[in-house]
Amino acid sequence: MTIKETQMKTVPEQFEQIELEFRAIFADSSDVVFRNFLLGGRKQRALLLFIDGLAGKNILNENIMRPLLLAEEFFSAPKSVSEIASSVLETSDVKKTDQIKEIVAAVLGGDSTLLVEGSKEALLIDTREWEKRGVSEPGNEVVVRGPREGFIEALRINTSLLRRKIHHPDLKMEYLKSGRYSQTDICIAYVKGIASENLVKEVRRRVEHINIDGILESGYVEQLIEDAPFSLFPTIGNSEKPDTVAAKLLEGRVAILIDGTPIVLTVPLLMVELFQSAEDYFSRPWFSSFVRFFRFIAFAISILLPAFYVAISSFHQEVLPNSLMITIAAAEENTPFPVAVSVFMMLLIYEMLREAGLRLPRAAGQAISIVGGLVLGDAAIRAGLVSTPIVIVVALTIIASFVVSPLSDTAGLLRLLFIIASAIFGSLGITLGILFLLLHLLSIESFGAPYLFPIGPLGGREMRDTFIRAPMWMLNKRPRYISRYNETRQGPHQKPPPGGKESEN
């Protein structure tokens, strides 16, 4: 019997039928425990239903079974589940229901169910306690200055980490279930009064519209609710750091937390966010601005440098100084492949090395990435298969792609497309590629927000936090298209007074 078949059914009146009903639902499930006993050791029968491994044994033994078995005087007469919940059970989270579907969902989620003779209602008791990873620093978002804690795979712990950052009752969390078989818990988090109500409704609508067998990771949800599924650029943000997600919530975004994954989704996403880091706001503005501007340059290098080298060496040799052109021509003279083929081949070899380094065990992966790159690069030059300038160009390209890690996969595909365009049309192909790329970015939206904002459409005050990061006291407004009804996030006169003098205001 499936959950769908029990949707309209309630708990049977006859106690004998209760166990038969649930044994039919959980047939062939040896981890489902049916514990029959007498309340207070007397005549009133009870059934405790839970899943071994999801429910905590200490909670079951000390807070549920022991009080129910030892309260002999209390159970001198038959009691209702309401009386038991208010007078006997030593647990904080207890709910009542008569719906079999709700009971089954609760048991599968780790709760325990208490059914008592003479009552059509059941008690759903929170006994969730399973093995989980401890809170630690996320490996993909390392910072020098800032909080070190990261989300884990347990949804309740992740929501508590957000609560620790935002101590306000306006932080709202709505819970949904998705996945016909996985019944995955999903939490939609937002700050009421800052996040747009239309944005919250749209996120809720898209998540509720998901109809799939199972949600095993946040990537399932991301791919089913994003605005531009065929774009190379992500339109939904993600993070493993509570401070980053909290900052986005305070700007008016909505977070989507999925049970079983440490990756939290945030919407809407602007492209400029991909060039920002949480540490930008923890450091002083001058260094943060330099690093952020450098990220934009590094991204341009990662997608355009190989294409420019192909175009210049194949079509536009006159733009280089004679001495440099002679050096490149001498290096390419004895190689058997055209420049475009050599660059393409070296980049594909790098992608293979990167994939192998990611999939192998960590120690072996690091060895194959380092040794493979050094040995293959040196051997290819010595064998005359590729020239030294090509190895240098590819190495600089790969290093630049690591600077903007959220776009490293996108940059890998874009650079291959630009190489093909430059090999066919030269600099004209690169120019057309950049034009098409800009038109594509201008056409994308993320939950109603222009993807390229504030570059296109051009923003005013938002430019203070785009290519550079202005001082914190100048970032007094939230971005437009994100929070349209509550734009002010700082009080007036936040600029530090000069010379340590007290502000007149």
> Do both 121 and 179 map to the same domain?
no
Total domains in the chain come to 3
Name the 3-class secondary structure at 262. Answer: coil
> Do both 189 and 290 map to the same domain?
no
For 399-419, what is the mean pLDDT? 91
Confidence of residue 505 (pLDDT cuts 50, 70, 90): very low
Bridge partners of residue 264, in order along the sequence: 239
> Do both 199 and 55 map to the same domain?
no
Which of 83, 107, 125 marks a domain boundary?
Answer: 125
**Which structural domain, as residue segments, surrounds residue 84?**
4-125
Share of the chain above pLDDT 90, in %: 41
What burial class does residue 1 get, using C-beta atoms within 10 Å of its C-beta: 0-12 exposed, 13-18 middle, 19+ buried?
A: middle
What burial class does residue 442 get, using C-beta atoms within 10 Å of its C-beta: 0-12 exposed, 13-18 middle, 19+ buried?
A: middle
Helix H or strand E segment including 446: strand 445-446
Instruction: Report the relative pairing of strands 184-191 and 122-125 from DSSP bridges.
Output: unpaired
Q: Is 480 in contact with 462 (CB distance < 8 Å)?
A: yes
Q: Which of 6-20, 113-127, 281-295, 331-345 has the lowest mean pLDDT?
A: 6-20
What burial class does residue 60 get, using C-beta atoms within 10 Å of its C-beta: 0-12 exposed, 13-18 middle, 19+ buried?
A: buried
Residue 76 lies in a domain: yes
> Do both 354 and 292 map to the same domain?
yes
Residue 427 lies in a domain: yes
- The tokens of 249 are what? 């919530």
Name the 3-class secondary structure at 282. Answer: coil
> Do both 95 and 163 map to the same domain?
no
Which of 269, 299, 325 marks a domain boundary?
Answer: 269
- The torsion region of residue 252 among left (phi > 0), alpha (psi -120 to 50) and beta comes to left
pLDDT higher than threshold 80 for residue 401:
yes
| The pTM of the whole model exceeds 0.75 | yes
pLDDT in tens, 429-453: 999 999 999 999 999 999 999 999 9
> CB-based contacts of 499: which residues, under 8 Å, 6+ apart?
none
Q: Is 112 in contact with 125 (CB distance < 8 Å)?
A: yes
Residue 218 lies in a domain: yes
pLDDT higher than threshold 60 for residue 4:
no
> Do both 265 and 289 map to the same domain?
no
Q: Is 342 in contact with 331 (CB distance < 8 Å)?
A: no
> Do both 264 and 320 map to the same domain?
no
> Do both 206 and 352 map to the same domain?
no
> Do both 109 and 11 map to the same domain?
yes
How far apart CA 206 and CA 403 sit, in angstroms, is 33
DSSP of 308-362, one letter per residue? HHHHHHHT-GGGS-HHHHHHHHHHHHT-SS-HHHHHHHHHHHHHHHHHHHHHS-H
**pLDDT for position 384:** 75
Which of 449, 474, 497 marks a domain boundary?
Answer: 449
For 80-88, what is the mean pLDDT? 87
How far apart CA 154 and CA 157 sit, in angstroms, is 6
3-state helix, strand, coil in the chain (%, to 5): 50, 15, 35
pLDDT in tens, 278-318: 888 888 889 889 999 999 999 999 999 999 999 988 888 77
Residue 497 lies in a domain: no
Residue 468 lies in a domain: no
**pLDDT for position 233:** 95
> Do both 294 and 411 map to the same domain?
yes
pLDDT in tens, 471-488: 888 888 888 888 877 888
Q: Which residue has the tokens 């079999």?
A: 100
| Angle (deg, nearest 10), helices 427-443 and 285-314 | 140
User: What SS3 string covers 123-162?
Assistant: EEECCECCCCCCCCCCCCCCCCCCCCCCCCCCHHHHHHHH
pLDDT higher than threshold 60 for residue 500:
no
DSSP of 215-259, one letter per residue? --SHHHHHHHH-S-TT-SS-SSEEES-HHHHHHHHHTT-EEEEET
Residue 345 lies in a domain: yes
Residue 486 lies in a domain: no
For 387-396, what is the mean pLDDT? 86
How far apart CA 17 and CA 101 sit, in angstroms, is 16
> CB-based contacts of 245: which residues, under 8 Å, 6+ apart?
162, 189, 239, 255, 264, 266
How far apart CA 199 and CA 205 sit, in angstroms, is 10
> Do both 113 and 211 map to the same domain?
no
Residue 487 lies in a domain: no
> Do both 390 and 427 map to the same domain?
yes
